[in-house]
């Protein structure tokens, strides 16, 4: 494997038998951070202005967005205006704790830009929102005046940075991009009420947003059900409610296959085939077990959802 040859080459150059073991197991994280900071300090001293400029020209992670910030601001303003009234909007840090994404979701750390000082660049704001929701819920549990069954709703617009295969020059996919996220956190109240109500509120929000942002397109809602017990509630309650509010939408339900090992119980996505030909969906969401892991509470429920705002504007 390439990584094995790389480690062998570095270990030989440094005169260390196994440098990976030395760095990951024999050195404390604080000492490793201090060491790496000095390494980068010494490396940057050797970078010339011409090298810096060439890096700016060729590094896809530092290139400016091709979408006007004014257009993105207009979209975010529209999205914020359509959120449920009890949904709180927050601004996240560009960084999050090291391991935020790979610890909660089945994502390899190599797809994330790891940073110093025990942090990483945010590659998915919904992971960070899970941490924030769990923090607030655990704090609320200590407050006797707070309802234990209240649903916490948070939204944010954030620029993601992801390590991915280099797209061709005609692709609309970029190394960093703007995403609008809405998350719902609560507990299991029985009869899948959290799941149904949160799904309906999230999907209704995105359908209203799409109608305002690109009114001449007809969206298709895809529902993937991984838990047969929730299927009846989806078919008898969620689907009729959505069709009553949005009679123009098309709804397709996959009751058989679990094609994506990221969500639990249910996943939804919404596509505009006329807009993003060749791209399956612009909106994605579903139930995860992230707050359950963080809170250590089997009754904790968490619904994530997001729309590729920059990708949508790229196609319009």
CA 195/CA 291 separation, integer angstroms: 14
pLDDT-derived band at 258 (thresholds 50, 70, 90) equals low
Instruction: Answer with the residue of higher pLDDT: 165 or 126.
Output: 126
Q: Is the Cβ–Cβ distance between 160 and 179 less than 8 Å?
A: yes
pLDDT computed for residue 164 by the predictor: 74
The domain ranges of the chain are: 2-46, 69-89+124-315
Nearest Cα to Cα of residue 199 among 180, 218, 217, 182: 182
pLDDT-derived band at 217 (thresholds 50, 70, 90) equals confident
pLDDT computed for residue 172 by the predictor: 65
pLDDT above 90 as % of the chain:
66
pLDDT computed for residue 27 by the predictor: 86
Instruction: Answer with the residue of higher pLDDT: 286 or 229.
Output: 286
pLDDT-derived band at 1 (thresholds 50, 70, 90) equals low
Tokens of 257: 């296959």
pLDDT computed for residue 260 by the predictor: 63
Backbone angle region of 296, left / alpha / beta, with phi > 0 → left and psi within -120 to 50 → alpha = left
Fold of 69-89+124-315: BirA Bifunctional Protein; domain 2 (3.30.930)
Q: Where are the alpha helices (DSSP H) in 83-167?
A: 100-104, 125-140
Query: What is the mean predicted confidence (pLDDT) over 216-241?
Result: 90
CA distances from 260 to 74, 264, 280 (A): 33, 10, 14
Enter the pTM of the model: 0.90
Query: What is the mean predicted confidence (pLDDT) over 161-186?
Result: 81
């Amino acid at each position: 494997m390439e990584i094995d040859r790389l480690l062998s080459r570095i270990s030989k150059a440094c005169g260390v038998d196994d440098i990976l073991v030395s760095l990951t197991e024999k050195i404390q994280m604080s000492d490793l951070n201090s060491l790496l900071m000095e390494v980068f300090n010494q490396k940057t001293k050797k970078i010339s202005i011409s090298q810096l400029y060439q890096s700016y020209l060729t590094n896809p992670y530092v290139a400016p967005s091709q979408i006007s910030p004014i257009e993105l601001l207009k979209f975010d303003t529209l999205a914020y205006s359509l959120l449920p009234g009890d949904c709180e909007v927050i601004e996240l840090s560009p960084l999050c704790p090291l391991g935020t994404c790979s610890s909660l979701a089945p994502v390899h750390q190599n797809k994330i830009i790891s940073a110093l000082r025990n942090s990483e660049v945010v590659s998915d704001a919904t992971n960070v929102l899970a941490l924030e929701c769990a923090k607030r819920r655990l704090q609320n549990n200590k407050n006797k005046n707070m309802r234990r069954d209240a649903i916490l709703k948070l939204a944010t617009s954030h620029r993601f940075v992801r390590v991915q295969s280099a797209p061709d020059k005609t692709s609309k996919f970029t190394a960093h991009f703007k995403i609008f996220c809405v998350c719902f956190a609560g507990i299991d109240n029985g009869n899948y009420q959290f799941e149904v109500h949160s799904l309906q509120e999230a999907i209704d929000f995105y359908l209203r947003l799409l109608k305002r942002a690109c009114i001449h397109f007809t969206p298709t809602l895809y529902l993937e059900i991984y838990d047969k017990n929730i299927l009846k509630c989806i078919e008898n309650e969620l689907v009729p409610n959505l069709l009553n509010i949005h009679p123009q939408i098309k709804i397709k339900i996959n009751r058989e296959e679990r094609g994506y090992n990221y969500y639990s119980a249910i996943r939804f996505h919404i596509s505009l085939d006329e807009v993003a030909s060749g791209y399956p969906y612009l909106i994605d969401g579903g139930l995860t077990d992230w707050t359950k892991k963080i809170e250590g509470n089997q009754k904790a429920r968490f619904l994530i959802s997001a729309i590729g705002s920059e990708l949508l504007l790229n196609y319009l």
